[in-house]
Structure 1
Amino acid sequence: MMVPAFIPSPSQGVWHLGPLPIRAYALCILAGIFAGYWLGRRRWVARGGSAPVLADIMFWAIPFGLIGARIYHVITDAELYFGEGKHPIDALKIWHGGLGVWGAVGFGALGAWIACRRAKVPFLAVADAMAPGIALAQIFGRFGNYFNQELFGGPTTKPWGLEIATDHRPAGYADFATFHPTFLYEAVWNLGVIALILLVERRFKLGHGRAFFLYVAAYTAGRAWIEHMRIDTVNHFLGLRLNVWTAIILFVLAVVAFVISARKYPGQEDISTGPAAGETPTTDEPEATADKADEADEADEADEADVADEATPAKAVSSNGSDSDDGSRD
């Protein structure tokens, strides 16, 4: 029975530009990447970081993140791709959906760490700058699940229930029309995560990874709750979905890391790397450079005067018949 009000399912999730398929899922992922980078860049430059340096870091982090997201999904849902009647080549078809956020963040962090080592910038400072941007990217990514009509919760008659087409309903749920829109729950939760990070930063200086650890703790707290609502087929361990266990473990680790960082490294690290790309130095910078040049000239003149003063006695000694080599050795 159809409820009076609900969130309609998308009419389609792919469009064709000639022979080229344009998939909504891919567009959502790309939009999330750009939005997350935009927010992270603003925060990085505001702290004195170089925009080109951050762009280089993202050049490493984004591919690592996408590959890691797919690897995590394939490993944790291997039965979908391997075994009798399955097609292993489908594991490469990322456009069909199937990205694990844990793999995305983990491998993305690995790529960023490598790039930070190359650029000689503190990795945790980059993680802090990007923390709310990661949450923003996830919001866009969840709308990709909406277009794919996947990863929804159990049946509901609430007005905000999500309509799911018959061919997308899991076995045993064919008679239910609307389900909990867990994609929307997580998107709203991530908005709260972003707000939390920004509000806490107004009162405290979150440095040395604390903004990132706060993101991980806040996100995983919500993810454990939302994950428990979903009805898609996944692996379980001790009665809980594998992703719930992952969220719990990461939550504990993030809280511990936050406390240790706050006690050992209060305040923020210095990440100043000069003007960002495209920025014009302030008018004070040329004057400062000129002042330094004048100071250097004055120092040189003083040194020359000292040398001249020291040479005068030597000449006097030489005129009295003393060894003139002593003056040259001085």
Structure 2
Amino acid sequence: MKNELLKIGPLTLYGYGFMIAIGVLAAWLVVEQRARKLQLACEHIFYLVLWCVLGGFASAKILFWITEWKEMIRNPLGMFSSDGFVVYGGIIGGILAGWIYCKVKKLNFLTYFDLVMPSIALAQGFGRIGCFLAGCCYGKEAQGGLSVIFTDSDYAPNNIPLIPTQIYSSILDFLHFFLLLYIARHKKAEGEVAACYLIFYSVGRFILEFFRGDLERGSIGVLSTSQFISIFTGVAGMVMLGVIKKRAKK
């Protein structure tokens, strides 16, 4: 893969950063369009997305520091590297930042939670393409069937056929986006879309982690860090959905 897409003098356009930017832009545009269609307060959308993005990136970095605490102690300057983020940290931090914004602006959090979450899945789809271009978040060595071989990656093992987990993740994220839009059109109560996001993403991520080959993502016992977190986010989504359904019946 080619992570350096374009060079103009001292400036370099990296594939990972470029796809992240496209994902954030696409997410914002979809949220804006859906907010207008649902007749929500559109003047808050830009700032809500901005809060979620900043909170998400900060939390993704913090969780990476936690999972790599030994390396951070050995090399404290590595904390300021532009590399190293944990997606689950971004999800949790983005949700928390959105909740704080809604509280400050006195908005119905569940309404905007449902509004934003399909776009999160969309942004993740583009982000995983960026991972593929960079070679990070790579899969285990492939024993047959579909595989990808990196020849100039700073992250993935080069010249070895690997399971293209980034592409599988991207496809699932885009399918997740369309599924959540369908659920949003047929939901019976606020919060259903967000709860379904937590459930579907947790299940998909838990399964995909078995095919990942990058050991630096950390582990807790026999589970990877992301699998461990998936258990709690999945249960939280199911509890949330159950409570919402019960309230809707009443």
Query: Same fold judged by TM-score > 0.5?
Result: yes
Name the Cα RMSD after superposition: 2.1
Query: 1: distance between equivalents of 2:223 and 2:81?
Result: 28
1:68-107 map, 5 Å: 68-83=59-74, 87-94=75-82, 96=83, 98-107=84-93
Give, in angstroms, the shift of residue 266 of structure 1. 5.8
Q: Given the alignment of the two structures, is residue 132 of structure 1 paired with residue 118 of structure 2, yes or no? A: yes
Q: Deviations over 1:201-237 (max 9, x none)?
A: 34333x3211011011101110001111111114322
Give, in angstroms, the shift of residue 11 of structure 1. 3.3
Give 2:214's match in structure 1, choosing from 225, 232, 235.
232
Structure with bigger helix share is 2
For residue 97 of structure 2, give the secondary structure of its aligned residue in structure 1: helix
What residue ranges of structure 1 are gaps of 5+ in the alignment?
A: 1-9, 268-330
34 and 167 in structure 1: CA distance in 2 versus 1, 3 angstrom threshold = closer
Query: 1: distance between equivalents of 2:170 and 2:179?
Result: 14
Query: 1: distance between equivalents of 2:218 and 2:87?
Result: 16
For residue 65 of structure 1, give the secondary structure of its aligned residue in structure 2: helix
Give 1:47's match in structure 2, choosing from 25, 35, 38.
38
Name segments (4+ residues, structure 1) moved above 6 Å: none
Give, in angstroms, the shift of residue 261 of structure 1. 1.1
Could you say which residue in structure 2 is the equivalent of 1:296? none
Aligned residues of 1:151 and 1:231 also touching (Cα < 8 A): yes
Give 1:183's match in structure 2, choosing from 143, 153, 166.
166
Query: 2: distance between equivalents of 1:32 and 1:266?
Result: 37
Query: 1: distance between equivalents of 2:180 and 2:50?
Result: 25
Give, in angstroms, the shift of residue 126 of structure 1. 0.7
113 and 146 in structure 1: CA distance in 2 versus 1, 3 angstrom threshold = same
Query: 2: distance between equivalents of 1:226 and 1:248?
Result: 14
Could you say which residue in structure 1 is the equivalent of 2:197? 215
Aligned residues of 2:135 and 2:154 also touching (Cα < 8 A): yes
Q: Deviations over 1:117-160 (max 9, x none)?
A: 22221111111011110000001111121121111111225453
The one-letter code sitting in structure 2 at the alignment partner of 1:203 is: H
Query: 2: distance between equivalents of 1:151 and 1:201?
Result: 30
Give 1:153's match in structure 2, choosing from 129, 139, 158.
139
The one-letter code sitting in structure 2 at the alignment partner of 1:32 is: G
The one-letter code sitting in structure 1 at the alignment partner of 2:79 is: A
Query: 1: distance between equivalents of 2:60 and 2:117?
Result: 17
Q: Given the alignment of the two structures, is residue 260 of structure 1 paired with residue 243 of structure 2, yes or no? A: yes
Q: Given the alignment of the two structures, is residue 142 of structure 1 paired with residue 128 of structure 2, yes or no? A: yes
Query: 1: distance between equivalents of 2:191 and 2:185?
Result: 16
The one-letter code sitting in structure 1 at the alignment partner of 2:60 is: A
More divergent stretch after superposition (159-168 vs 132-141): 159-168
Q: Deviations over 1:24-58 (max 9, x none)?
A: 21111111111111112222222210221111222
State the identity %: 23
1:1-330 map, 5 Å: 10-13=1-4, 15-83=6-74, 87-94=75-82, 96=83, 98-156=84-142, 158=144, 160-165=146-151, 168=154, 177-205=160-188, 207-233=189-215, 234-265=217-248
What residue ranges of structure 2 are gaps of 5+ in the alignment?
A: none
Q: Deviations over 1:265-299 (max 9, x none)?
A: 469xxxxxxxxxxxxxxxxxxxxxxxxxxxxxxxx
Aligned residues of 1:41 and 1:129 also touching (Cα < 8 A): no
For residue 73 of structure 2, give the secondary structure of its aligned residue in structure 1: coil
Aligned residues of 1:208 and 1:265 also touching (Cα < 8 A): no
